């Protein structure tokens, strides 16, 4: 699950771990990920920034390190917002927004296809 440390993502992590799921969460903030793991020992995590072009490789390497061979539920939850009127966004801000909110979830899903067996669920939030 991307965006695992705050808001909807954190609530989903807590709820799914409570139902017995093994969760591998992805977020940029290692400290928040470690705090969540201390609270939920069944929670594992990967530190990755979805705004960076190399994030798919980072996630794939870490999944292999964690021994993840199958993903039954992928929740693309990470999101980015810039709190100002749209016409005041710089080109860089717009490109970053589009990368995190649109391109990254599709890239991640595509990258994980080999470990998403038939019947798996992919959710975009």
Average pLDDT rounded to a whole number, residues 27-35: 96
Average pLDDT rounded to a whole number, residues 59-71: 94
Cα(112)–Cα(87) distance, integer angstroms = 35
Instruction: Read off the DSSP letter of residue 2.
Output: B
Q: Residue 83: pLDDT band by 50, 70, 90 thresholds?
A: very high
Average pLDDT rounded to a whole number, residues 33-50: 95
Check whether 1 has a pLDDT greater than 90.
no
Check whether 108 has a pLDDT greater than 90.
yes
Average pLDDT rounded to a whole number, residues 13-22: 95
Looking at domain 7-124, its CATH class is: alpha beta
**pLDDT for the residue 93:** 95
Cα(104)–Cα(47) distance, integer angstroms = 15
In the chain, beta strands by DSSP E: 23-27, 43-47, 73-76, 121-124
Altogether, the residues listed in the chain come to a count of: 125
Check whether 29 has a pLDDT greater than 90.
yes
State the pTM of this model. Answer: 0.90
On average, the pLDDT of the chain sits at 94
């Amino acid at each position: 699950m991307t965006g695992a440390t705050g808001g909807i993502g954190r609530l989903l992590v807590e709820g799914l771990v409570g139902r017995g799921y093994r969760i591998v969460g992805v977020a940029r903030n290692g400290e928040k990920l470690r705090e969540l793991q201390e609270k939920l020992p069944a929670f594992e995590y990967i530190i990755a920034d979805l705004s960076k072009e190399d994030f798919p490789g980072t996630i794939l390497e870490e999944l292999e390190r964690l021994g993840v061979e199958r993903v039954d539920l992928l929740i693309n939850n990470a999101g980015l917002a810039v709190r100002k009127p749209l016409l005041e966004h710089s080109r860089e801000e717009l490109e970053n927004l589009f990368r995190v909110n649109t391109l990254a979830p599709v890239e991640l899903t595509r990258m994980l296809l080999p470990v998403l067996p038939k019947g798996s669920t992919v959710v975009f939030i």
